Amino acid sequence: MGGSPVQAKTNYEITQEDSTKSRLKINAKNRKELKITLLGLKKKHPTIEVDKILDTAEQKSFYVNDSFQVNSHIGGKEAFKSIAKTAINFYIHKGGDRVNIKHLLPYLEGNKELDIVWMHYPDKDIYIPDKDEASHVLKVVGDSKEKVLYAYVELFNLHNFIICLNDSYNGIDIDFDYIFNVHNYEVKENKTCLKLSRNELIDLFINKDAKPFEKIKKRYARILTIANKQQDKHQIHEIISNAIDNSLGLLPEGTIINEKILNSMFNELMKRMMPFIAHRNNLRNIK
Q: Domain segments of the chain: what residues?
A: 11-56, 77-210, 216-286
Rg of the chain (C-alpha set): 28
User: What's the CA gap between 202 and 164, in Å, rounded?
Assistant: 8
> Beta-strand (E) ranges in 124-218?
135-143, 148-155, 159-166, 174-181, 187-188
Residue 267 has a pLDDT of 81
Report whether 154 contacts 90 (CB < 8 A). no
Tell me the β-bridge partners of 141: 150, 175
Note the pLDDT of residue 4: 46
Decide if pLDDT at 286 tops 70. no
Q: Running DSSP on this structure, what letter comes out for residue 252?
A: P
In the predicted structure, residue 244 carries a pLDDT above the cut 60: yes
118, 204 contact by CB (below 8 A): yes
The pLDDT, as a whole number, for residue 140 is 98
In this prediction, residue 170 carries a pLDDT of 95
Query: Which of 229, 216, 73 minimizes the C-alpha distance to 157?
Result: 216
Pairs from 270-274 (Cβ < 8 Å, separation ≥ 24): 271/243, 272/239, 272/242, 272/243, 273/236, 273/239, 273/243
Supply the mean pLDDT for the chain.
84
Percent of the chain with pLDDT over 70: 87
Residue closest to 128 by CA, chosen among 150, 154, 149: 154
pLDDT digits (tens, 9 = 90+) for 188-236: 999 999 999 999 999 999 988 766 777 788 888 888 888 878 777 777 8
pLDDT at 139 over 70: yes
Q: Which of 169-173, 198-202, 273-277 has the lowest mean pLDDT?
A: 273-277
**Prediction pTM value:** 0.64
Which residues lie below 8 Å from residue 230, measured CB to CB, with a gap of 6+? 183
Q: What share of the chain is helix, strand, coil (3-state, %, to 5)?
A: 40, 15, 40
| pLDDT of amino acid 80 | 94
Q: Residue 100: is its pLDDT beyond 70?
A: yes
41-59: b or e for each residue (b if 16 or more CB lie within 10 Å)? beeeeeebeeeebeeeeee
